[in-house]
Amino acid sequence: MPNSNEALIDYLVRIGVLSDKRVEEVMRVVDRANFVPDELKSSAYVDSPLPIGKGQTISAPHMVAVMTQYLKPEKGNKVLEVGAGSGYQAAILSVLVGDDGRVYAVERIPELGAMARKNLRSYPNVKVFIGDGSKGLPEYAPFDRILVSCAASRVPEPLKDQLLEGGRMVIPVGHPLSADLILVEKKSGRIIETNLNFPCSFVPLVED
């Protein structure tokens, strides 16, 4: 079992999950232990989801790596994250988009939103909102990138609408225990959905 963040990232590289050098460098900088509850710090570097309270989890590191690589965030991008959790994914996106970029993270559960805000205090280009992430944030749209960290029965229409031309969205679609990662792209005003054939399990996206 990896016993440090460096060892965890080395492991992800070794098994072939983490191949993008830029994402690798950022995941080495963002220590997962800073986003795990105190009582689970000893398990922070295990490549599996961990509970963070209120029935929610912090994603497994390999899943964070895979989704981030498919998302391909660039410097200066405006990114929407649905399902902030404890803030780990938002922190990685924050560093990837840089000082000129912005990350807007939406969390449905107020207690977790408060946790994310606390954990993300040193990431000034991230803003955490409490609300129904399936509706996006129309007041801040459109977004260059959208990442959904919970399983949806289908790609929510508001998120499609809020995706910028040429933008990318990565979202798990299907049953929470047996979803597939879907890449959504907007090209010439059309939405193109591609099944990435990467099975995954996530907590469900709750929609009003």
Which residues are known catalytic residues?
A: 59
Residue whose tokens read 């990350």 = 103
Question: Beta-carbon neighbour count of residue 164 at 10 Å?
Answer: 15
Nearest by Cα to 158 from 140, 173, 174, 138: 138
201 by Cβ neighbours in 10 Å (0-12 / 13-18 / 19+) ranks as: middle
Distance (Å, whole) CA 146 – CA 102:
12
Provide the β-strand partners of residue 128. 105
Q: In what order do the strands lie in the sheet with 190-200?
A: 126-130, 102-107, 78-82, 143-148, 163-175, 178-187, 190-200
For 114, the token pair is 């408060």
